[in-house]
A = this chain, B = another copy of it.
Amino acid sequence: MQIIRSIQDMQACSQRWRQSGLRIGCVPTMGYLHAGHTSLIDIAAKQCDVVVVTLFVNPTQFGPNEDLARYPSDEAGDLAKCEEHGATAIFAPAAAEMYAPDQSTWVDEAALTLGLCGANRPGHFRGVTTVVSKLFWAVMPDVAVFGEKDAQQLRVIERMVRDLNIPVQIARGPIVREPDGLAMSSRNAYLSADERARALCLSRSLDQARQLFAAGERDAEALCCEVRKTLASADEVDYVSLVDEETLEPVPGTISRPALLAIAARFSSTRLIDNLILRDNQYPTANTEFPITN
């Protein structure tokens, strides 16, 4: 497994693979890998000849009061996991390699980023779309895999790829959960034992919504209301939103198309997100069996 630190080396590698006709998969991460990340590596490995995992804690997607300084890292552990799951190469540039001090070009998505996490984290998605653009120009993958836990990010990336003609197929990796239901996240490492116990309200609230929906509940406000009740054990609820699965626009009243129930809540200073897609067989859907788009 190669470890690549410079953009130029990464591009040279990628160029060689492409000229050999190899299919390149990419899994962009901020490191501190867990089973959610490794499931994405597995998806890439299944579809591609070579897999590049990127490890880069992207400073431009953190707000000034966010957790950049304390974001957990464990490069040795990450490398071992990547190797174990069959990664071909790691692209782990330093921040100075990725951003010039006078960087002044940004990629910005201006519709899907307005609500949900975008409303609470100004500049966050501009950082995400910019760094993913840069990683795509560096790695030149055929396929890139993103996790469904970051539901809004996934749709923003899919939109960016469409809007900029980027010839990268975006594959969606299902949410991976701890045995008790908590969605895997590098930020779970911040939680105290008490917070960890209370954080279960996230997945529980979504389970309840799933059951209500299965029992026929289609009223958006009724579902959100139940979710909010269960989230009462959080220290603060950032949002509980039922939005159109594709446009991320709030569902007005009754659900009649595939919808995304997205939640964000804080436990002390740790902010966690989770989500659930609500669809029934009557809705016009695509990719329900095989979660790969583009």
A49 CB to nearest chain B CB (Å): 14
A84 at the interface (CB under 8 A from B): no
A220 CB to nearest chain B CB (Å): 23
Once A18-B19, A21-B19 are accepted as A-B contacts, the answer to whether A165 and B104 lie under 8 Å apart by CB is no
Total copies of this chain within the assembly: 2
Residues of chain B with a CB closer than 8 A to A7's CB: 165
Question: Among the listed B105, B111, B159, B167, which residue makes an inter-chain contact with A163, where contact means beta carbons less than 8 Å apart?
Answer: B105
Q: Are B104 and A107 in contact (CB under 8 A)?
A: no
Q: Are B18 and A160 in contact (CB under 8 A)?
A: no
A238 at the interface (CB under 8 A from B): no
Q: Which of A131-139, A143-151, A190-198, A273-281 binds B?
A: A131-139
A100 at the interface (CB under 8 A from B): yes
Q: Are A104 and B137 in contact (CB under 8 A)?
A: no
Once A21-B19, A129-B105, A159-B105 are accepted as A-B contacts, the answer to whether A137 and B111 lie under 8 Å apart by CB is no
Which chain B residue shows the least CB distance to A134?
B165
Q: How far is the CA of A167 from the CA of B110 in the complex (A)?
A: 26
Which chain B residue shows the least CB distance to A104?
B111
A162 at the interface (CB under 8 A from B): yes
Chain A 258-280 residues near chain B, CB threshold 8 A: none
A103 at the interface (CB under 8 A from B): yes
Residues of chain B with a CB closer than 8 A to A159's CB: 104-105
Closest 9 CB pairs of A and B: A105-B163, A104-B111, A137-B165, A105-B160, A105-B109, A134-B165, A104-B110, A7-B165, A11-B167
Between-chain CB contacts (< 8 Å), 9 pairs: A19-B21, A104-B159, A104-B163, A105-B109, A105-B129, A107-B107, A108-B108, A134-B165, A137-B165
